[in-house]
Structure 1
Amino acid sequence: MNVRVIFRIYIVYSLVFWLGCKSSDKPVVEPFVPPQETTFTNPLITGADPSVYQKDGTYYYMHTVGNAIRLWKTDAMSKISSAQAVTVFTPTTGQPNSRNIWAPELFFLDNKWYIYYTAGNGEDRTQRTWVLENSNADPTTGTWINKGRIFNADTDFWAIDGTVLEHNGQRYFLWCGRPDPNNADLTQNIYIAKMTNPWTLEGSSTRLTTPQFAWERNGFGVNEAPQVLTINNKVFMVYSASFCGTDDYALGMMSLNDGGNPLNLNDWVKRNQPVFTKKPQSGAYGPGHNSFFKSPDGNESWMIYHANSNPNQGCAEQRNVRMQKITIGTDGFPNFGEPVAIGLQITKPSGEK
């Protein structure tokens, strides 16, 4: 090999080495990845009568607005306050469902969406349960059609807080009713009836529970806001007890016997003590009107509910929404614990991003 060739090779290697050194002298800038938040605090949002429906990894949230129905959509319930609300129903003035719109709940039944809600003409005695239907895949879009009232002839009186139980291939409608048309007796009971379709009931109704214990009669006797919780095929009905204007609004529970008929009162067992009550030191007064949902990975059960942060705030706009995990005992029954303190850092539902 001659001298010229050796010199050229030397020059090429020197250049490569020099360029490599120059490039390595530059600082490597890694992209900034913000740390993922793993906790949240209560309250989540201002509101009352919260309800959550979960489908295909999406949570649909609602609470009482009063003059309309709004729907929130999110993939993380701990972030519900940052979700955008969509108004899906605004009533026509002067109609029998135009005022006092309470406690909407969303369900996906027979490949359509349904909202069950309470409304009247402005007089308390006119409050009834109503149904809206939407065939669009996304309930925040499309057209909501008024399917009218849902009721039974034998219980066609003041009715609020409708919800749906699906059990052994059959659907049932549960709601709170007040039989006295003159409102002289304000006692509120919970009823159940079989559903023919999502907006029609059949047969006679069964009164599942009436306020019989002292903790159900603060203010006046109230059993309302029934909610269904199914654990390993065992059915529980959690309800709110006592007048919501008191600090002693609380949750009670009934369980359906294995193999029992939901329409048969004798197949239900009612707890004689509340399962969730106020905790002043946590800033939780009058906790109730709850709903249930699963964590994104399906491994945890969660409860969402409203409460007041201070005493004597009643059924007003100060109520706020909170959520916390529930556990399942070795006996298969749910354990709701006690209200978690305002501002306490709570680990997010498992699988939440």
Structure 2
Amino acid sequence: MVRLLILLGINIFIMTGCKTSGHYKNPVIFSGADPWIIKQNGFYYYCCSMNNGIGISKSKNLHQINPPKQIWKAPEGNKWNSSCIWAPELHYLNNKWYIYYAGGYGGPPFIHQRTGVLESMTDDPMGEYVDKGMIFTGDNPTDLENNIWAIDMTVFYYNKVLYAVWSGWDKNEKTDKTSQNLYIARMDNPWTISSSRVKISSPDKYYEQGELPLNEGPEVLIHNGDVFIIYSCGQSWLDTYKLAYLKLKKDGDPLLQESWVKGKSPIFEGTEDVYGVGHACFTTSPDGKENYILYHSKKDKVPGWDRDIRLQKFTFDKKGMPYFGKPEPLNKVLALPSGTK
């Protein structure tokens, strides 16, 4: 995936979702991409790329995301993760905070991207972190020399087992115009993959086609025991970027490709007024009674990566499927998340 704006190391962060008479409007962040937010102990922690590093903000209100504080900067020099810091995610695992991110060493072409993880040194998610190094995302976890291109890693527990899911290539290539798939593997701990990767999705549906077929930005959504992977497909620089899903079969083994069922159509896509929706994450309202999707959207139809961050409520239907509806247009008056004070 080519992300020229991120290469520039510029992260313009302007809070726009202001509280007014019990309502808010989109966008909640004027400029940004690949949003990630986690709710913990009554606060929302937003994690993002900034200044060739990673930033985190702490907010009481979901619709009012404060500017981030930079908590980590990529190492200088020609290190594996010295630039191109993409799509960081903050997770709380085993009583510690971890940040998963993609990094590389130069581009274009962006052919060196790998995945790394940081571990907190304190209980404060905005405190200091130690770099736990690169995560192995190749075919054989005992062959650490032959790692393979990987971005957008997320993690989740299922039946007390920790799994990693990411977007990657079949093999390393000399061009970033390479199709991307979704992979899964088991983890022994938050920084060590302990099984061979398993490809669980390739861009083989009609709605996943285009200039460069991609499956990327996977995020896990669990509801009443059902496990969904909501992912982005199409091309991030086009207005046709959209969300699709995989669903784990009941009692299915996450490490078997046949355990995952892909949707027959997209689950969330743009309209005449909203373009290129993608790379979403999920949380709940302050009182936990409502579900929310946070996603990025293109500001116009012109190819490129000028995007903002938007927030809207979603529900689950009678069959337990997430229902996102249509993306709300800019500046539409929306009710505040329930429990907002």
Using the size of structure 1 for normalisation, the TM-score is 0.85
User: How many residue pairs are counted as aligned between the two chains?
Assistant: 312
Question: What is the correspondence of 1:12-91 to structure 2 with a 5 Å cutoff?
Answer: 37-45=21-29, 46-65=31-50, 67-80=52-65, 83-91=66-74
8 A contact 1:219–1:246 mirrored in 2:
no
| AA aligned opposite 1:347 | A
Q: Percent identity?
A: 38
Residue 134 of structure 1, aligned match among 120, 130, 137: 120
Structure-2 change in CA distance of 1:44 and 1:36 (3 Å): closer
Distance 2:55 2:270 in 1: 28
**Structure-2 residue corresponding to 1:125:** 111
Residue 261 of structure 2, aligned match among 263, 269, 274: 269
**Structure-2 residue corresponding to 1:96:** 80
Is 1:328–2:316 an aligned residue pair? yes
Structure-2 change in CA distance of 1:153 and 1:307 (3 Å): closer
Distance 2:326 2:135 in 1: 35
Give how far 1:313 is off: 4.1
SS in 1 for 2:186: strand
Give how far 1:140 is off: 0.8
Distance 2:275 2:160 in 1: 38
SS in 1 for 2:258: helix
Runs of at least 4 residues off by over 4 Å: none
SS in 2 for 1:307: strand
Distance 2:117 2:222 in 1: 24
| AA aligned opposite 1:122 | G
Distance 1:212 1:134 in 2: 39
Residue 164 of structure 2, aligned match among 173, 193, 196: 173
8 A contact 1:218–1:246 mirrored in 2:
no
| AA aligned opposite 2:119 | E
Give how far 1:308 is off: 1.1
Residue 229 of structure 1, aligned match among 221, 235, 247: 221
Distance 2:121 2:248 in 1: 33
SS in 2 for 1:221: coil
8 A contact 2:51–2:73 mirrored in 1:
no
Give how far 1:43 is off: 0.6
8 A contact 1:224–1:239 mirrored in 2:
yes
Distance 1:36 1:346 in 2: 10
**Structure-2 residue corresponding to 1:287:** 277
8 A contact 1:50–1:64 mirrored in 2:
no
| AA aligned opposite 2:202 | T
Give how far 1:152 is off: 3.7
Give how far 1:305 is off: 0.2
Structure 1 spans left out of the alignment, 5+ residues: 1-34
Residue 296 of structure 1, aligned match among 286, 296, 303: 286
| AA aligned opposite 1:202 | S
Instruction: Spell out, residue by residue over 1:8-50, the C-alpha distance to the aligned partner (whole angstroms, 9 max, x if none).
Output: xxxxxxxxxxxxxxxxxxxxxxxxxxx9731100011110000
Distance 1:305 1:324 in 2: 9
**Structure-2 residue corresponding to 1:12:** none
Give how far 1:122 is off: 0.8
SS in 1 for 2:207: helix
Using the size of structure 2 for normalisation, the TM-score is 0.88
SS in 2 for 1:215: helix
**Structure-2 residue corresponding to 1:150:** 135
State the superposition RMSD in angstroms: 1.5
| AA aligned opposite 1:203 | S
Distance 2:195 2:225 in 1: 25
Distance 2:123 2:307 in 1: 32
| AA aligned opposite 1:151 | F
Instruction: Spell out, residue by residue over 1:107-144, the C-alpha distance to the aligned partner (whole angstroms, 9 max, x if none).
Output: 01111110000000013111001000003111112x21
8 A contact 2:36–2:48 mirrored in 1:
yes
The structure with the larger Rg is: 1
| AA aligned opposite 2:115 | T
Question: What is the correspondence of 1:169-248 to structure 2 with a 5 Å cutoff?
Answer: 169-183=160-174, 186-248=178-240
Is 1:348–2:336 an aligned residue pair? yes
